[in-house]
Structure 1
Amino acid sequence: MSLDVRIRSGKMEDLPQLVRLWRELIGFDESLGGQDFRLAAGAPEQWERHLRSYVGKRRRAAFVAEVEGAMVGFLLASLERPPGIFMEREYGHVAAVYVQEPYRGKGVGHALVAGGLGWFGERRVSRVRVATDSKNALGVEFWKRLGFQTAVLAMDKLL
């Protein structure tokens, strides 16, 4: 079942709601196990400062998803430059995406990604990269359904 989803650029006034959604995202990530998602002191304030760097910028963008006027998800996008030794000069990066649980599987995530891909397309990038926790089966399948493929396998060793 698809919902009437509105995707728009994030604004400074959205920061408190974006921080609230980010806390939910961290809770979801923690539930996966694996990576250490314990937060440092002052993390919400640091995250709010970080979010500011995505609002109204040329090389970064924040998108929010609204259903019936309520913010239910977000996506953070940026343009990245690989080392100058490669032909590719710029690629898109999805830094974070989150949709509240009651709205998953209803087109909200797809609409957010479509908004992000449109933004990347306007900037003429030819590739978009996203990373997701290997234990996030829901996320891995979501990205695969949208045409993303495994390009790099990152591995960690705890010391």
Structure 2
Amino acid sequence: MRIRSFQLSDVNQVMELLQVALSEDCYEDTKCAFARQLSWDSELIMVAEVEEEIKGVLIGTIDQNTGCIYRMAVHPEYRRRGVGRSLVSAMEQRFQQRNVRRIMVAGDEHNKAIMPLYEAMGYGASKFLEAFQKLGIAAARTLTGSN
């Protein structure tokens, strides 16, 4: 397995993965957030590649000095194989490179199923950002400087 930054040539595979791995509602929310983050900073989108096929994706963002893990999707056939843990570790390293002071996990309804993974990686309840459901709005204000 290889973890790397998203590349524009990955867009079709990532969109297919999101559709397979997420519920319909979650997919709709995520594809908009994915497009916004892609336009701002594609290096905060990490992919897990197995035999040149994308089997996992993690979308992160930075709001001031806080990194946020917004959404993770892992192909159902590759779950519980360390893909998610590897993606989170890679994002943590990326956040460290960017001098992020703290990391939060979006605690929206769509992430509830994978909260045990985050908890096992040291993200206790105080690290879940319940109000981060609307990635684009909060991040857009910070990134554009508008309030």
TM range (shorter): 0.7 to 0.9
The alignment's TM-score, normalised by the length of structure 2, stands at 0.73
Q: Structure 1 7/124 Cα, relative in aligned 2: closer, same or farther at 3 Å?
A: same
Contact 1:25 1:98 in 2 (8 A): yes
**Separation (CA, whole Å) in 2 of partners of 1:125 and 1:143:** 18
1:12–1:55 contact (8 Å) kept in structure 2: no
Alpha-carbon distance change, 77 to 134 in structure 1, aligned in 2, over 3 angstroms: closer
C-alpha displacement of 1:68: 1.6
**1:120-131 counterparts in 2 under 5 A?**
120-131=95-106
| Amino acid in structure 2 at the alignment position of 1:50 | R
Aligned residue number for residue 21 of structure 1: 17
Is 1:69 aligned with 2:37? no
| 1:17-49 Cα distance to aligned partner (Å, 9 max, x none) | 11112223432xx5xxxxx65849xx96x5664
Structure 2 residue corresponding to 1:143, chosen from 111, 114, 118: 118
2:36 to 29, 50, 54: 50
Q: Highest Rg: 1 or 2?
A: 1
- 2:144 paired residue number: none
Look up the equivalent residue of 1:79 and give its one-letter code: I
- Residue type matched to 1:13 in 2? S
Distance 1:117 1:11 in 2: 19
Instruction: Check the 8 A contact 1:10/1:55 in 2, yes or no.
Output: no
Give the number of the structure whose residues are more often helix, by fraction.
2
Give structure 1 stretches of 5+ with no counterpart: 31-35, 82-89
Which amino acid letter does the alignment assign opposite residue 10 of structure 2? D
Inter-CA distance 106–124: structure 2 relative to 1 (3 Å threshold): same
Q: Structure 2: where are the runs of 5+ without partners? A: 132-147
Distance 1:61 1:102, change over 3 A: same
- Count of matched residue positions in the alignment of Structure 1 and Structure 2: 130
Q: Contact 1:61–1:77 at 8 Å: present in 2 too?
A: yes
- Which residue in the other structure is 2:134 paired with? none
Give the match's secondary structure for 1:53: helix
TM-score with structure 1 length normalisation?
0.68
In structure 2, which of residues 6, 9, 12 is the aligned counterpart of residue 10 of structure 1?
6
Q: Secondary structure of 2:56's match?
A: strand
CA gap 1:107/1:11 in 2 versus in 1, 3 angstroms: same
